[in-house]
Amino acid sequence: MSGSAWDQALAQLDQAARIMNLDPNVHEVLRNPKRALIVSVPIRMDDDTVRSFTGYRVHHNTSRGPSKGGIRYHPSVNLEEVKALAMWMTWKCAVVGIPYGGAKGGVVVNPKELSERELEALTRRYASEILPLIGPERDIPAPDVGTDEQVMAWIMDTYSMNSGYSVPGVVTGKPLAVGGSAGRRAATGRGVMYVTVATLKHLAMPVDEARVVVQGYGKVGAPVVQLLSEQGCIVVGVGDVGGGVYNPRGLSPVGLASHHAETKTVAGYEGGESVTNEELLELECDVLIPAALEEVITEGNADRIHARIVVEAANGPTTPEADEILHDRRVRVVPDILANAGGVTVSYFEWVQDLQAYFWTADEVNAKLRKVMEESYVSVLDLAEERKVTMRQAATILGVQRVAEAHTTRGLFP
Ligand code: NAD
């Protein structure tokens, strides 16, 4: 039975702890988020009424450094989900070896229903409410589902106004004009591309003409479609909240992008036939890339997934039950905490550049990203083969091991 995302995250930790014989005292610490803040975010709407939204910021663990994690604006945001996403951030930062702990934030809201002014008010008030928790040495937010560069700029400005001077390093995923990094916008998708290519090569499957299906066409999914097409892959299916499109001969990335720019959805793109989001996941393909929300591959559909490889661009798209079914069916799953770590990696580069006030070129950023992703991929793969475990178990073990080492080296306070 599937539970919440938090149950899923705990189950993954517990399983890794069992396999690696984790010290039960360390396990106990890691099962609990360090702190969780629930805030009320009242704003004046355009019709002059006041509405209160609920927001969260969770720090899961800071043993390896300040915490890092996105902010999500979505109607289904809840504390359990934010806790799970924060825990996954802890392992993710450790897997790619960047000196951060894990955090996540969110507001229960559909940002598409707000005007620009309301969105700015919501963001500034939410930022003010979580102000005691964030800061360049403390906790550094970034974009996630429903938030973007502009939202990050408003948070940076709100924090800076309270400090009395500009603090670009308080958030990442900012516009270039206020201390953003070259290459950040497509970084998560670029990292997904690197690990997808590495997986295809490892399984001796040709990259050229590999058939790919992508669920989600946002900040992560859209660059994935573009970058994998550039590698010679054939993107046969793409979907978003509005629905999906399928063309076994391939969808034009340029055509999709211009259709999306016009209509804000890939649904209805005339270069393919319409499919539902359920059908999309079950299409004939070599690689399936969920890049939308969690828990989309479940025990209900896992045995109908045709892909040979699932690359988790989204966080938590596969439930533990589905994971087992996919494993039994020999579907290779490249787990979220490895596959989508390109975003936090370039966020780390952005933070380093902000702190030094010295900026790198896109080529420098992409080359450093590629090195981190390919080396992390090899570390996880080697561990999986050595321990005879899945890539997810290996990635979780690697992350937990590094966090546990930092925790025990520092010792339990007081
Ligand atoms: P986004 O808001 O930019 O895009 C989300 C996409 O998912 C949109 O295309 C939306 O239409 C689609 N979607 C939403 N609900 C859906 C549904 N019910 N069915 C099908 N499609 C649906 O968000 P994003 O930043 O691209 O994030 C996508 C996933 O990647 C999330 O799981 C996020 O946590 C993860 N992620 C994002 C980053 C990043 O840098 N933005 C980094 C790591 C992981």
Whether residue 412 lies inside any domain: the answer is no
pLDDT tens digits, one per residue of 196-255 = 999 999 999 999 999 999 999 999 999 999 999 999 999 999 999 999 999 999 999 999
Residue nearest ligand 1's atom 35 by CA: 314
Scanning the structure block, which residue is given the tokens 């073990």? 397
Q: For the chain, what is the mean pLDDT? A: 97
pLDDT of residue 107: 98
pLDDT of residue 371: 98
CATH number, domain at 281? Answer: 3.40.50.720
pLDDT tens digits, one per residue of 242-266 = 999 999 999 999 999 999 999 999 9
pLDDT of residue 340: 98
Whether residue 363 lies inside any domain: the answer is no
Mean pLDDT, rounded, for 171-178:
98
Q: Which atom of ligand 1 is nearest to the CA of 148?
A: 3
Do 172 and 206 fall within a single domain?
A: no
pLDDT tens digits, one per residue of 314-361 = 999 999 999 999 999 999 999 999 999 999 999 999 999 999 999 999
Is 368 one of the catalytic residues?
no
HEC secondary structure over 160-176: HHHHCCCCHHHCCCCCH
Whether residue 232 lies inside any domain: the answer is yes
User: Rounded to the nearest whole angstrom, what is the distance from the C-alpha of residue 290 to the centroid of ligand 1?
Assistant: 9
Query: Of these residues, 83, 92, 104, 174, which one is catalytic?
Result: 104
User: Rounded to the nearest whole angstrom, what is the distance from the C-alpha of residue 38 to the centroid of ligand 1?
Assistant: 23
CA quadruple 247, 250, 255, 256: dihedral sign:
positive
Is the per-residue pLDDT at 300 higher than 60? yes
Scanning the structure block, which residue is given the tokens 């039994």? 328
Do 236 and 212 fall within a single domain?
A: yes
Do 268 and 158 fall within a single domain?
A: no
Strands 243-246 and 234-240: antiparallel
User: Rounded to the nearest whole angstrom, what is the distance from the C-alpha of residue 217 to the centroid of ligand 1?
Assistant: 7
Q: Which atom of ligand 1 is nearest to the CA of 265?
A: 11
Do 47 and 173 fall within a single domain?
A: yes
Spatial separation of the C-alpha atoms in residues 308 and 302, rounded to whole Å = 12
> Looking at this protein, which amino acid is placed at residue 204?
A
Q: Which atom of ligand 1 is nearest to the CA of 336?
A: 44
pLDDT of residue 1: 45
Q: In 3D, which of 239, 236, 245 has the Cα closest to residue 274?
A: 245
pLDDT tens digits, one per residue of 21-70 = 999 999 999 999 999 999 999 999 999 999 999 999 999 999 999 999 99
Mutate to test the pocket of ligand 1, among 220, 225, 259, 278 (most ligand atoms within 8 A of CB): 220
Whether residue 393 lies inside any domain: the answer is no
Do 97 and 167 fall within a single domain?
A: yes
User: Rounded to the nearest whole angstrom, what is the distance from the C-alpha of residue 356 to the centroid of ligand 1?
Assistant: 31
* DSSP H or E stretch at residue 366: helix 362-387
Compute CA 172 distance to the chain's CA centroid, rounded to the nearest angstrom.
14
pLDDT of residue 304: 98
Strands 101-108 and 211-215: unpaired
Whether residue 414 is preceded by a cis peptide bond, meaning omega within 30 degrees of 0, is yes
Q: Which atom of ligand 1 is nearest to the CA of 143?
A: 41
Whole domain around residue 217: which residue ranges? 187-339
Both tokens assigned to 132: 């005691």
Is the per-residue pLDDT at 12 higher than 50? yes
Is the per-residue pLDDT at 2 higher than 90? no
- Which segments of 282-361 does DSSP mark as H helices, in order? 320-328, 336-339, 342-356
Is the per-residue pLDDT at 98 higher than 80? yes
Q: In 3D, which of 315, 366, 400 has the Cα closest to residue 60?
A: 400
CATH number, domain at 135? Answer: 3.40.50.10860
pLDDT of residue 3: 79
User: Rounded to the nearest whole angstrom, what is the distance from the C-alpha of residue 239 to the centroid of ligand 1?
Assistant: 11
Mutate to test the pocket of ligand 1, among 240, 281, 337, 373 (most ligand atoms within 8 A of CB): 240
pTM equals: 0.96
Spatial separation of the C-alpha atoms in residues 3 and 28, rounded to whole Å = 20
Do 58 and 130 touch, CB atoms closer than 8 A? no
